[in-house]
Chain A
Amino acid sequence: MRFKTKLLVAALVVVHFVLLFAGFIAPYDPAEQNRVLPYAPPSRLHFRDASGFHLRPFVYGLKLDLDGFTEDKNQVFPIHIFVRASRYKLLGFFETNWHLLGVSGSGRLVLLGTDGFGRDEFSRVLHGGQISVAAGIVATFDALLVGMMLGMLAGYYGGWVDESLMGAAELFLSLPWLYFLLGVRAFLPLHVSPARTFLLLTCVIGLIGWARPARLVRGIVASARSRNHVLAARGFGASDFYLLRRHIFPEIYGVLLTQATVLIPRYIAAEVALSFLGLGVNEPVASWGNMLSTLQQYSVLVSYAWLLAPACALVVTSVIYSLLADCLHSQLKFQSS
């Protein structure tokens, strides 16, 4: 069990590391359009050509004719490591133009093909992952923060505080938010940058979801407050705040962690769903959701299978989180019994 947890955490760290350094690993800027290469298939890497085997792989140029794209064997572009290409801000403030991979000249290294505007899908999956996963994490943080505070208040004080807060929680859980979320974008002011839109949206998603964690936390706090060590501390004159911080919070820590691993993939999926419907992150910023929205068209889904890459990335990330949640859950049970 412990080993499995460690393995999963390592997998998650790798995924997040890759996403964090998306700017470096991606060969191109995600918004860079190439209007002569729409819907190009993934680049085929070759090691062997007329003059024999090469250690350095290369790609051919692409020609567009009636049946689609074909490789032009006259144009050879070897792949280089550590190339200088478009400028970007590494980790948000360190401006540079070094990229891990690239080709020179008029060649295009499109490891996962291109979308309808000729933008590199691989770069977009990486940058889009930053947005989607960050959305999940921020929304989860919001939901857990609010849920934890309200749950602690409800569980600790009980009585009418508890009744009213839980009543509000039930109200939040009962409303069909899908319908209301359809209209949420319309309320936001127009003149916000994409970054702020993103933050606002994730806050909204997170704030809707405080109810379930709150109930969980409330349950645990309610039972914890009558434990012997808490009663003893109270007898010694400890304040409410001290009790909450020192004795009760450690009890809920485990639950919060497990809830986090459960909620993060769910909120990533929520961002995907909103962007899928066209009401999330805007163009030209990539997110897994707005990349998948082009697949709503049957003709695209059937003809350009490489555009499913964000779905695969989403599933992989969700599965890792999901398995980690299982492990943490059983570990928690093991520890508490």
Chain B
Amino acid sequence: MNYLGRRLIRTVLLLVGVSVLCFLFTEMAPGSFFDDMRVNPQISPETIAMLRSHYGLDQPLIVRYGRWVKSALHADLGYSIAYNVPVAPLLWGRAQNTLLLSVTAMLLTWLIAVPLGVWTAARRGKALDKTTSIGVSLLVAIPEVVIAVALLAIAVRWRVLPIGGMKSEDLDGLPLWVRIKDIAEHMLLPVIVLTLVDSALVVRHVRAAVLEILEAPFVQATRGFGISRSRVLFRHVLPAAANPAISLFGLSLAGLLSGSLLVEVICGWPGLGPLILDATLSRDFYMVVGGIMVSTIFMLGGNLIADIVLTVIDPRIRTGAPDAL
């Protein structure tokens, strides 16, 4: 379809734009990886200069960008200066950990938030709706950082959960269910934080969307025909409310890799977030660029998938009606 074709081209252009900006910003940031050594009186500037040229950091930016693009097309994202290994496998290993966390959180969020949003919309004004509203407003207002630190402090005080890391030691010989249970224990804290924060937003949006549809004439008509409340909800209202929900789902997908950065850092989960943050602070050039590109691909990919699904489902998009959100 023409619309999708244009979206695809836009996405590719965006990727190129992000990669250029990435390179520019990382280069413009003052300092380089070897500044740690500068402070050490026992290392000479000649050694530092030699190390810089060893890693190609003294070549002009355009040359480096060109070489990076060429190798990126072969899925080679360059070398990490800090670890001295290729960037791509390093990123992939950590990305898997992040995905495990965020996919679990996303599933939980949607399992909880969609029914909750629909229920509170259906029972609008009643006790459930009021308490949920207050809870949601609070959760949206409190910054994610505060929630994560508060829960962490509770976990430390009461020693209920392991703090940080993904697996305990010495589990290699033990059966699968023990290992899964162990990972689940480690995952509980960050997943709770992410679910709390995300579900508040989803509940809000689903509730608003359902409320809007509930007031539409065609729904009033179904009630007039005597169709039961639940059938109305699930057969007629939900599909109509799908549009904003799918956009939101797309946003969730987009944020799979990048949304959990703060939580990973605070809870000590060995994902992509802490790796890229550390790389940014230590100016590990190709790791920063590689990490940001991978996050961006996910983000744009998520948006694109949402767009495709929406185009298939909702004919209004195809005709170019204004944005609903």
Contacts and interface: CB of A to CB of B under 8 A. Distances in A.
B13 interface: yes
Interface stretch (A56-64, A78-86, A119-127, A310-318): A310-318
Contacts of B321: 223
A276 B145 CA distance: 10
A219 B277 CA distance: 36
B141 interface: yes
Contacts of A108: none
**Interface residues on chain B, size class:** 35 or more
* Chain A binding surface, main DSSP class: helix
A176 B295 contact: yes
A175 B281 contact: no
B236 to A, nearest CB: 19
A223 B320 CA distance: 10
A319 B143 CA distance: 11
Interface string B261-305: 100000000000000110011000000100010011001100000
Contacts of A272: 143
A12 to B, nearest CB: 13
Interface in B11-26: 13-14, 17-18, 21, 25
A91 interface: no
Interface string A43-67: 0000000000000000000000000
Interface string A92-136: 000000000000000000000000000000000000000000000
A176 B300 CA distance: 12
A337 B300 CA distance: 34
Given A167-B13, A170-B14, A176 B322 contact: no
A307 to B, nearest CB: 13
Contacts of B296: 174-176
A3 B215 CA distance: 23
A302 interface: yes
B142 A219 contact: no
Contacts of A295: 149
Nearest to A223: B322
Contacts of A323: 137
B29 A186 contact: yes
B146 interface: yes
Contacts of A186: 29-31
A93 B219 CA distance: 59
Interface stretch (A32-40, A137-145, A177-185, A235-243): A177-185
Nearest to A321: B141
A166 to B, nearest CB: 9
A167 B258 CA distance: 21
A311 B25 CA distance: 32
A265 to B, nearest CB: 6
B145 A171 contact: no
Nearest to B137: A322
B323 A326 contact: no
Contacts of B10: 167, 170
A333 B137 contact: no
Interface string A201-226: 00000000000000110111011000
B50 interface: no
A170 B299 CA distance: 11
B212 interface: yes
A28 to B, nearest CB: 27
A273 interface: yes
Given A170-B14, A174-B18, A319 B141 contact: yes
Interface string A298-335: 10011000000001001100110111001001000100
A171 B18 contact: yes
Interface in B136-165: 137-138, 140-143, 145-146, 149, 153, 156
Contacts of B215: 337
Contacts of B258: 176
Nearest to B31: A186
Contacts of B146: 311, 315
A269 interface: yes
A314 B143 contact: yes
Contacts of B295: 176
B142 A315 contact: yes
Contacts of B276: 179
Contacts of A298: 153, 156
Contacts of A178: 261
B141 A183 contact: no
A301 B153 contact: yes
A211 to B, nearest CB: 13
Contacts of A265: 141
A216 B323 contact: yes
A321 B296 CA distance: 31
A220 B322 contact: yes
A182 B322 contact: no
B250 to A, nearest CB: 13
A183 B29 CA distance: 6
A178 B153 CA distance: 25
B68 to A, nearest CB: 18
23 contacts: A167-B10, A170-B14, A171-B14, A171-B18, A171-B21, A174-B18, A175-B296, A183-B25, A183-B28, A186-B30, A186-B31, A216-B323, A223-B322, A272-B143, A301-B149, A314-B143, A315-B138, A315-B141, A315-B142, A318-B140, A318-B142, A319-B141, A322-B137
Interface of A: 167, 170-171, 174-176, 178-180, 182-183, 186-187, 215-216, 218-220, 222-223, 265, 269, 272-273, 276, 295, 298, 301-302, 311, 314-315, 318-319, 321-323, 326, 329, 333, 337
Interface of B: 10, 13-14, 17-18, 21, 25, 28-31, 133, 137-138, 140-143, 145-146, 149, 153, 156, 208, 212, 215, 258, 261, 276-277, 280-281, 288, 292, 295-296, 299-300, 321-323
Q: Return the 8 tightest CB-CB contacts between A and B, nearest first.
A: A318-B141, A219-B323, A183-B29, A223-B322, A219-B322, A319-B141, A322-B141, A269-B143
